[in-house]
Amino acid sequence: MRLILLGPPGAGKGTQAARVCDAHGLVHLSTGDLLRAAVGAGTDLGKEAKAFMDAGNLVPDTLVLALVRERLEQPDAAAGFLLDGFPRNVSQAEALAADLGDRGVEKVIHMKLEDEEIVQRLLARGREDDTEAVIRNRLEVYSNETAPLIAHFDGQGLLVTIDAQGSMDEVFDRIAGVLSDSNAGASA
Protein backbone atom coordinates (compact mmCIF):
# COMPACT_ATOMS: atom_id res chain seq x y z
CA MET A 1 0.00 0.00 0.00
CA ARG A 2 1.07 3.54 -0.70
CA LEU A 3 -0.75 5.91 1.62
CA ILE A 4 -0.76 9.52 2.76
CA LEU A 5 -2.00 10.58 6.17
CA LEU A 6 -3.19 14.18 5.93
CA GLY A 7 -4.40 16.35 8.77
CA PRO A 8 -3.69 19.33 10.99
CA PRO A 9 -0.93 19.34 13.60
CA GLY A 10 -2.20 17.56 16.70
CA ALA A 11 -4.63 15.30 14.85
CA GLY A 12 -2.63 12.27 16.00
CA LYS A 13 -1.04 11.48 12.64
CA GLY A 14 2.22 10.23 14.13
CA THR A 15 0.58 7.80 16.55
CA GLN A 16 -1.87 6.44 14.01
CA ALA A 17 0.80 6.23 11.32
CA ALA A 18 2.98 4.07 13.56
CA ARG A 19 0.09 1.68 14.27
CA VAL A 20 -1.01 1.43 10.64
CA CYS A 21 2.58 0.76 9.56
CA ASP A 22 2.97 -1.96 12.20
CA ALA A 23 -0.27 -3.60 11.16
CA HIS A 24 0.45 -3.54 7.42
CA GLY A 25 4.25 -3.77 7.27
CA LEU A 26 4.66 -0.32 5.74
CA VAL A 27 7.58 2.09 5.96
CA HIS A 28 6.56 5.06 8.12
CA LEU A 29 7.96 8.20 6.53
CA SER A 30 7.45 11.21 8.80
CA THR A 31 9.11 14.34 7.42
CA GLY A 32 8.79 15.98 10.86
CA ASP A 33 10.72 13.08 12.44
CA LEU A 34 13.35 13.12 9.67
CA LEU A 35 13.78 16.88 10.04
CA ARG A 36 14.05 16.66 13.84
CA ALA A 37 16.67 13.92 13.44
CA ALA A 38 18.64 16.12 11.02
CA VAL A 39 18.47 19.03 13.46
CA GLY A 40 19.58 16.77 16.31
CA ALA A 41 22.47 15.39 14.27
CA GLY A 42 23.55 18.90 13.31
CA THR A 43 23.66 18.21 9.56
CA ASP A 44 23.75 21.14 7.12
CA LEU A 45 20.15 20.37 6.17
CA GLY A 46 19.18 20.35 9.85
CA LYS A 47 20.85 23.70 10.43
CA GLU A 48 18.97 25.20 7.50
CA ALA A 49 15.65 23.73 8.57
CA LYS A 50 15.73 24.66 12.25
CA ALA A 51 14.60 28.29 12.10
CA PHE A 52 11.61 27.40 9.92
CA MET A 53 10.58 24.64 12.31
CA ASP A 54 11.00 26.79 15.41
CA ALA A 55 8.67 29.39 13.89
CA GLY A 56 6.10 26.81 12.78
CA ASN A 57 6.70 27.61 9.11
CA LEU A 58 7.21 25.09 6.35
CA VAL A 59 10.78 24.09 5.61
CA PRO A 60 11.64 24.85 1.94
CA ASP A 61 10.43 22.17 -0.49
CA THR A 62 13.92 21.40 -1.83
CA LEU A 63 15.16 20.33 1.61
CA VAL A 64 12.08 18.25 2.41
CA LEU A 65 12.02 16.60 -1.00
CA ALA A 66 15.67 15.58 -0.63
CA LEU A 67 14.82 13.75 2.61
CA VAL A 68 11.73 12.09 1.15
CA ARG A 69 13.52 10.93 -1.98
CA GLU A 70 16.40 9.49 0.00
CA ARG A 71 14.00 7.47 2.17
CA LEU A 72 11.71 6.30 -0.64
CA GLU A 73 14.70 5.07 -2.63
CA GLN A 74 15.60 2.56 0.09
CA PRO A 75 14.58 -1.00 -0.81
CA ASP A 76 12.14 -1.53 2.07
CA ALA A 77 9.93 1.30 0.77
CA ALA A 78 9.14 -0.74 -2.34
CA ALA A 79 6.84 -2.94 -0.24
CA GLY A 80 4.70 0.04 0.71
CA PHE A 81 4.82 3.24 2.71
CA LEU A 82 2.76 5.70 4.64
CA LEU A 83 3.65 9.39 4.34
CA ASP A 84 3.01 11.35 7.54
CA GLY A 85 3.34 15.13 7.39
CA PHE A 86 4.16 15.09 3.68
CA PRO A 87 3.10 16.50 1.27
CA ARG A 88 2.39 19.76 3.06
CA ASN A 89 1.52 21.88 0.01
CA VAL A 90 0.41 21.38 -3.59
CA SER A 91 3.90 21.73 -5.05
CA GLN A 92 5.20 18.92 -2.81
CA ALA A 93 2.23 16.79 -3.91
CA GLU A 94 3.07 17.44 -7.55
CA ALA A 95 6.75 16.60 -7.04
CA LEU A 96 5.75 13.36 -5.30
CA ALA A 97 3.37 12.41 -8.10
CA ALA A 98 6.11 13.02 -10.66
CA ASP A 99 8.58 10.89 -8.67
CA LEU A 100 6.17 7.99 -8.19
CA GLY A 101 4.87 7.95 -11.76
CA ASP A 102 2.51 5.04 -12.42
CA ARG A 103 2.96 3.61 -8.95
CA GLY A 104 1.21 6.58 -7.39
CA VAL A 105 -0.41 6.93 -4.01
CA GLU A 106 -3.51 4.75 -3.60
CA LYS A 107 -5.29 6.52 -0.80
CA VAL A 108 -5.14 9.74 1.19
CA ILE A 109 -6.63 9.49 4.66
CA HIS A 110 -7.66 12.90 5.90
CA MET A 111 -7.91 13.13 9.70
CA LYS A 112 -10.35 15.93 10.42
CA LEU A 113 -10.25 17.87 13.69
CA GLU A 114 -11.72 21.20 14.85
CA ASP A 115 -9.31 24.10 15.59
CA GLU A 116 -10.24 24.31 19.26
CA GLU A 117 -9.46 20.65 19.83
CA ILE A 118 -6.18 21.04 17.92
CA VAL A 119 -4.97 23.88 20.15
CA GLN A 120 -5.89 21.98 23.31
CA ARG A 121 -4.10 18.85 22.16
CA LEU A 122 -0.96 20.70 21.10
CA LEU A 123 -0.74 22.67 24.33
CA ALA A 124 -1.08 19.40 26.26
CA ARG A 125 1.64 17.76 24.13
CA GLY A 126 4.20 20.44 25.03
CA ARG A 127 6.79 19.79 22.31
CA GLU A 128 9.46 22.46 21.88
CA ASP A 129 7.63 23.96 18.88
CA ASP A 130 4.24 23.83 20.64
CA THR A 131 4.14 27.28 22.27
CA GLU A 132 0.87 29.13 21.79
CA ALA A 133 2.19 31.68 19.26
CA VAL A 134 3.86 28.96 17.21
CA ILE A 135 0.73 26.80 17.37
CA ARG A 136 -1.34 29.68 16.03
CA ASN A 137 1.12 30.11 13.17
CA ARG A 138 1.16 26.39 12.39
CA LEU A 139 -2.64 26.39 12.16
CA GLU A 140 -2.51 29.31 9.76
CA VAL A 141 0.14 27.59 7.67
CA TYR A 142 -2.02 24.46 7.67
CA SER A 143 -5.11 26.28 6.47
CA ASN A 144 -3.28 28.35 3.85
CA GLU A 145 -0.83 25.83 2.46
CA THR A 146 -1.82 22.30 3.46
CA ALA A 147 -5.62 22.33 3.55
CA PRO A 148 -5.81 22.97 -0.24
CA LEU A 149 -4.52 19.39 -0.57
CA ILE A 150 -7.92 18.16 0.63
CA ALA A 151 -9.58 19.40 -2.57
CA HIS A 152 -6.50 18.45 -4.61
CA PHE A 153 -6.65 14.77 -3.59
CA ASP A 154 -10.45 14.69 -3.58
CA GLY A 155 -10.31 15.78 -7.22
CA GLN A 156 -8.08 12.79 -7.91
CA GLY A 157 -10.57 10.46 -6.22
CA LEU A 158 -8.03 9.50 -3.54
CA LEU A 159 -9.42 11.23 -0.45
CA VAL A 160 -11.18 9.57 2.47
CA THR A 161 -12.04 11.77 5.45
CA ILE A 162 -12.32 10.35 8.95
CA ASP A 163 -13.21 12.01 12.26
CA ALA A 164 -10.02 12.37 14.33
CA GLN A 165 -11.91 13.06 17.59
CA GLY A 166 -12.07 10.31 20.16
CA SER A 167 -9.67 7.83 21.68
CA MET A 168 -6.59 6.48 19.93
CA ASP A 169 -8.34 3.13 19.53
CA GLU A 170 -11.52 4.64 18.11
CA VAL A 171 -9.59 6.61 15.52
CA PHE A 172 -7.43 3.59 14.64
CA ASP A 173 -10.57 1.51 14.09
CA ARG A 174 -11.90 4.15 11.68
CA ILE A 175 -8.66 4.06 9.70
CA ALA A 176 -8.59 0.26 9.73
CA GLY A 177 -12.16 0.33 8.38
CA VAL A 178 -11.13 2.58 5.51
CA LEU A 179 -8.22 0.32 4.63
CA SER A 180 -10.23 -2.89 4.75
CA ASP A 181 -13.12 -1.37 2.77
CA SER A 182 -10.80 -0.53 -0.04
CA ASN A 183 -8.61 -2.81 -2.06
CA ALA A 184 -5.71 -0.41 -1.60
CA GLY A 185 -3.35 -3.38 -1.25
CA ALA A 186 -4.54 -5.28 -4.28
CA SER A 187 -2.38 -3.49 -6.82
CA ALA A 188 0.71 -3.10 -4.62
Q: Which residues bind ligand AMP (CB under 6 A)?
A: 9, 31-32, 35, 52-53, 56-59, 64, 85-86, 88, 92, 138
Given the complex with ligand AMP, which of 9 and 80 has the nearer CB atom? 9
Q: How far is the CB of 186 from ligand AMP (least distance, A)?
A: 28
SS3 category, 121: helix
Given the complex with ligand AMP, which of 48 and 154 has the nearer CB atom? 48
Q: How far is the CB of 158 from ligand AMP (least distance, A)?
A: 17
DSSP string, 147-162: THHHHHHHHTT-EEEE
**Strands across the sheet with 2-6, in order?**
27-30, 81-84, 2-6, 107-112, 159-163
Extended beta strands in the chain, E state? 2-6, 27-30, 81-84, 107-112, 159-163
Q: How far is the CB of 102 from ligand AMP (least distance, A)?
A: 23
CA atoms within a 13 Å half-sphere pointing along the CA-CB vector of 89? 13
Given the complex with ligand AMP, which of 34 and 162 has the nearer CB atom? 34
SS3 category, 64: helix
SS3 category, 80: coil
Using Cβ positions, the residue closest to ligand AMP within the complex turns out to be: 32
Q: How far is the CB of 181 from ligand AMP (least distance, A)?
A: 27
Given the complex with ligand AMP, which of 96 and 184 has the nearer CB atom? 96
Given the complex with ligand AMP, which of 129 and 154 has the nearer CB atom? 129
Q: How far is the CB of 35 from ligand AMP (least distance, A)?
A: 5
In order of 66, 84, 171, the CA distances from 20 in angstroms are: 25, 11, 11
